[in-house]
Amino acid sequence: MTRDVRVGRIERTTKETSVLVEIDLDGTGRTDIATGVGFYDHMLDQLGRHGLFDLTVKTDGDLHIDSHHTIEDTALALGAAFRQALGDKVGIYRFGNCTVPLDESLAQVTVDLSGRPYLVHTEPENMAPMIGEYDTTMTRHILESFVAQAQVALHVHVPYGRNAHHIVECQFKALARALRYASERDPRAAGILPSTKGAL
């Protein structure tokens, strides 16, 4: 039976990081984000606000080395929390897509909450390597980590863009909306699992 409350809570601790993620799929976009990486906080805030997910993320990582472990482990915990919140997936739309422009940049995101992790990701080459302390090569790794734990198929395509900030941000905004649409309950499919296999 579908749960009335769709929330996920993951605590993940290693020698490199300590991460807490809480997500409510049926929220209003309230966020409380603190990873120690300013631009990453900004992107996770976009995810919560545009997905209408209530999202709390608290990460204490080894930033004295660099931001890699902090960003990666946060994405892993986020994916696990999202999967937990989905529960049995009964009555959801399952598929979602969104195209988001941000000035000169455009992101197209399509997701299938399939139970099978797969990522296709393309973005313009020769982007600026850093946005503040955020390594722009980490965007793909964030998506890889999220997909692995959320167990979703995700296609993210940025056909054009010049400004690195815009290129990354429109991806997170489009991802938020695609996840929102896919995870929302379909009033015409109450009690129905959206799969001919009988499992997701």
Q: In this predicted model, what pLDDT tens digit does every residue of 155-164 receive, in sequence order? A: 999 999 999 9
**Positive or negative torsion for Cα 185, 52, 179, 110:** positive
Q: Nearest 10 degrees: CA dihedral of 30, 91, 144, 103?
A: -60
Contact yes or no for 89/194 (Cβ under 8 A): yes
pLDDT value at residue 1: 42
Record the pTM: 0.96
**Are 173 and 102 contacting, i.e. CB atoms less than 8 angstroms apart?**
yes
Work out the pLDDT band at 88, boundaries 50, 70, 90. Answer: very high
Specify the pLDDT at position 96: 98
Provide the pLDDT confidence category of residue 2 given band limits of 50, 70 and 90.
low
Beta-carbon-side half-sphere exposure of residue 143 (alpha carbons within 13 Å)? 25
Q: What is the rounded CA–CA span in Å between residue 139 and residue 130? A: 11
Nearest to 6 by CA among 33, 27, 20: 27
Average pLDDT score over residue span 26-48 = 98
Parallel, antiparallel, or unpaired: how do β-strands 17-24 and 7-13 relate? antiparallel
Residue among 122, 195, 127 at smallest CA distance from 154 = 122
Q: What is the pLDDT of residue 199?
A: 84
**Residue-wise pLDDT tens digits, 49-84:** 999 999 999 999 999 999 999 999 999 999 999 999
Residue 70 pLDDT:
98
**Which domains are seen in the chain, by residue range?**
7-183 (3.30.230.40)
Local confidence band at 3 (pLDDT 50, 70, 90 cut-offs) = low
Which residue from 157, 151, 80 is spatially nearest to 118, judged by alpha carbons? 151
Distance, in Å, from the CA atom of 98 to the CA atom of 51, rounded to the nearest integer, reads: 11
Q: What is the mean pLDDT of residues 5-25?
A: 97
What's the mean pLDDT when you consider all of the chain?
A: 96
Confidence of residue 98 (pLDDT cuts 50, 70, 90): very high
Does residue 195 surpass a pLDDT of 80?
Answer: yes
What would the pLDDT profile of 115-144 be if each residue is shown by its tens digit? 999 999 999 999 999 999 999 999 999 999
For residue 197, the model assigns a pLDDT of 85
- Give just the sign of the alpha carbon dihedral 130, 131, 137, 141: positive
Report which of 41, 80, 32 is spatially closest to residue 61, judged by C-alpha positions: 41
